[in-house]
Amino acid sequence: MIDALVVNALLTMMVFIVLVMVGQRNLFAVVILGGIYSFLMATALVALDAVDVAMTEASVGAGISTVLLLGALYLTRGDEAKPMRHSTIPLIVSVAVGAALVYGSLGLPAFSDPNAPIQTHVAPRYLKETLSATGVPNAVTSVLASYRGYDTLGETTVVFTAGAGVIALLRRRRRIREDEER
């Protein structure tokens, strides 16, 4: 009961922060509001007993991305430019997509319903066997690294690819500038 109240209060605050962010033209304020949003999300995840995800959200969403965005902000101007024309069509598209997603979520089983298909398929086996089969009491770790080891290998490769992409993009630009100076 109290958990649901806390989560709902946090989600309401997040909605308000998003509304403020949309109306805000100062990019510094937007970055800081984004950090606050991530911290609220992390707190909501703690209230939902998903501490592993909460830790990731706090360190990546609120920590690293805020620092990286501030670093990027240093390279640009601090205020968002006024849009050239009214963005009616994008607004309609995003409202329509959002409405479609909400409509789709109506067909899902109720939140944390123990009889939902996802809870009755392999999840009970993972939870029951994690200690005897892998010796790791934290089911999140055993699922991530062992039962779903291929997925995590793919994820790590995605992180690697992202890093390689950033290196390729920013390096190339530096070399072009040196060519121009020559």
List of residues contacting other proteins (CB under 8 A) = 51-52, 54-56, 59-60, 63-64, 67-68, 71-72, 74-75, 132-138, 140-142, 144-146, 149-150, 152-153, 156-157, 159-160, 162-164, 166-167, 170, 173, 177
SS3 content of the chain, % helix, strand, coil (to 5): 80, 0, 20
HSE on the CB side for 60, CA within 13 Å?
Answer: 7
CB of 143 to other proteins, least distance (A): 11
Which residue number, 40 or 54, has a Cβ lying nearer to other proteins? 54
Taking a C-beta distance cutoff of 8 angstroms, is the pair 23, 36 a contact? no
Which residue number, 40 or 143, has a Cβ lying nearer to other proteins? 143
Which residue number, 86 or 174, has a Cβ lying nearer to other proteins? 174
Which residue number, 97 or 176, has a Cβ lying nearer to other proteins? 176
Taking a C-beta distance cutoff of 8 angstroms, is the pair 122, 142 a contact? no
Taking a C-beta distance cutoff of 8 angstroms, is the pair 144, 152 a contact? yes
Taking a C-beta distance cutoff of 8 angstroms, is the pair 38, 58 a contact? yes
CB of 158 to other proteins, least distance (A): 10
CB of 41 to other proteins, least distance (A): 15
CB of 165 to other proteins, least distance (A): 10
Pick the closest to residue 69 from 28, 41, 101 (CA basis): 28
